[in-house]
Amino acid sequence: MKTPAEVVDYDPRWPLWFAEIHAVLAPHLDGIPHVVEHVGSTAVPGLAAKAIIDVDIVVPAPSMVPAVISRLEAAGYRHTGDQGVPGREAFALPPDAADYHHLYVVVEGNKAHQDHVLLRDHLRAHPADRDRYAAHKRELAHLLTSDRSAYVDGKSALVAELLAKAGGSPAGGEPGRTGA
């Protein structure tokens, strides 16, 4: 499956894709207390984004993370560690994934989880910031085909600013990559 490398207008199908991904994940998480959240830009109506659904599996305690990792690996996902964002465990897709997505496991209320939710909710509630963020992502979009890290790095100052406006705390260092 090819990684989307273009910033496109908001697609009303994105919440439906999230629901499909959630339905695929649900049987693998049976018996483990969790919430599955749609985060990132595709979770913000009206926000331009890469067509990548960002999914957080939120567990109430760090002790539950290994069990979720094990279940996801059994489902075909490959655990790729925190990818430089403490408190956020990332996964590569199984070969048979129907929808391209980023999958993370976070502990409820940790910085990685808060960053995802605060940015999403702030952009949903503040159209001017949503539009400013969309314009900035479009300015950087040319980097998606040549230097994805530069694209992410290019967004980091604005993401930090928006997280601060949303009540986020810089505690623990740089803002986590939000997937947005």
Confidence of residue 145 (pLDDT cuts 50, 70, 90): confident
Which pLDDT does position 172 carry in this prediction? Answer: 45
pTM assigned to the model: 0.90
Of 42-51, 62-71, 145-154, minimum mean pLDDT range: 145-154
Which pLDDT does position 97 carry in this prediction? Answer: 85
The full DSSP string for the chain is: -PPP---B---TTHHHHHHHHHHHHGGGGTTS--EEEEESGGGSTT--B-S-EEEEEEESSGGGHHHHHHHHHHTT-EE-TTTT-TTEEEEEPPTT-SS-EEEEEEETTSHHHHHHHHHHHHHHH-HHHHHHHHHHHHHHGGGGGT-HHHHHHHHHHHHHHHHHHTT---TTSSPPP---
Distant-in-sequence, close-in-space partners of 175: CB < 8 Å, separation ≥ 6:
115, 156, 159, 160, 163, 168
Which pLDDT does position 180 carry in this prediction? Answer: 54
The arithmetic mean of pLDDT across residues 17-23, rounded, is 96
Domains of the chain: 14-165 (3.30.460.10)
For the chain, percent of residues with pLDDT exceeding 70: 92
Q: Report the b/e string of 118-135 with b at 16+ CB within 10 A.
A: bbbebbeeeeebbeebbe
The arithmetic mean of pLDDT across residues 24-37, rounded, is 97
Distant-in-sequence, close-in-space partners of 161: CB < 8 Å, separation ≥ 6:
none
Pair of tokens at residue 99: 């929808």
Instruction: Check pLDDT > 80 for residue 27.
Output: yes
Pair of tokens at residue 67: 């069990």
User: How confident is the prediction for the chain on average, in pLDDT?
Assistant: 91
The arithmetic mean of pLDDT across residues 148-158, rounded, is 90
Instruction: Check pLDDT > 70 for residue 116.
Output: yes
Confidence of residue 125 (pLDDT cuts 50, 70, 90): very high
